[in-house]
Amino acid sequence: MVAVQAQDPAQAVIGVIFGPPGSGKGTQASRIESEAMLKHLSTGEILRAEVAKGTPTGKEVGRIMAAGDLVPDELIVDIVRGRLPEAEAGAGVLLDGFPRTVRQAQALDAMLAEEGHRVDRVIALEVPEAELVERLLHRAEVEGRSDDTREAIAERMHEYHKLTEAVLDYYRRQGVDVVRVDGTGSPDQVFERIRRALPSPSAWEDASGPKGPGRVGGDAN
């Protein structure tokens, strides 16, 4: 991966980091953000900030999240719609935690199409469920996140299988390049695998064809 700098908003790269709860999406997205200069947009973080503000919406969202359920599609789509233009104006965006349902994916496609964009690439982290639960329970001790209880974790896994997994098939059917990456091991090891899975400097762009000059800097591999 290399540093990218879009000169034209139409060249913005749209990536999605995908995976079950606890697969390390946020950790890897932060690294990709620094290396590929993509703006990391985490819907979980945005929602937690809303909860922290204690607004009426935040209170409702806090209850939903603590139970391990998904917030309504309309709410999250509105939030992303508000943030996307700013993110798209730069080199590109890496979505983390969104889209989580096929309806959200369709709404995202519609939003992107308005700007002449589409999802260029999906990185799907794969981790066995037993390890995910172990990681989340460990995180509960370290970070004390309200949705890292056994009950909420079970519900989040259930929602993932019921609603979110289908998003990958949705993208595959559309011909979007879905890169599967083994998400086990240390964050460094996983990041190295992501780099290897995206071998060419223009790997972020390849999926949707060349978009003209939009990158600066050398190959970081």
- Closest separation in Å from C-beta 59 to ligand ADP: 14
195 is catalytic: no
Catalytic residue among 31, 156, 195, 211: 156
CA distance 176 to 194: 17
- Shorter beta-carbon distance to ligand ADP: residue 28 or 43: 43
The answer to whether 195 and 1 have CB atoms below 8 angstroms apart is: yes
CA distance 77 to 99: 9
- Closest separation in Å from C-beta 204 to ligand ADP: 22
| AA letter at 190 | V
118 is catalytic: no
Catalytic residue among 31, 39, 48, 100: 100
100 is catalytic: yes
Q: Which residues bind ligand ADP (CB under 6 A)?
A: 21-22, 43-44, 47, 64-65, 68-71, 76, 97-98, 100, 104, 147, 156
Q: CA 125, 82, 39: angle at the middle one, nearest 5?
A: 45
211 is catalytic: no
- Shorter beta-carbon distance to ligand ADP: residue 44 or 90: 44
- Closest separation in Å from C-beta 122 to ligand ADP: 14
User: Which pair of tokens denotes residue 186?
Assistant: 């240390």
- Shorter beta-carbon distance to ligand ADP: residue 97 or 201: 97
31 is catalytic: no
The answer to whether 171 and 118 have CB atoms below 8 angstroms apart is: no
DSSP assignment of 70-106 equals PPPHHHHHHHHHHHHHHHHTSSEEEEES---SHHHHH
Q: Which residue is nearest to ligand ADP (CB)?
A: 44
Which residues are designated catalytic? 25, 100, 139, 145, 156
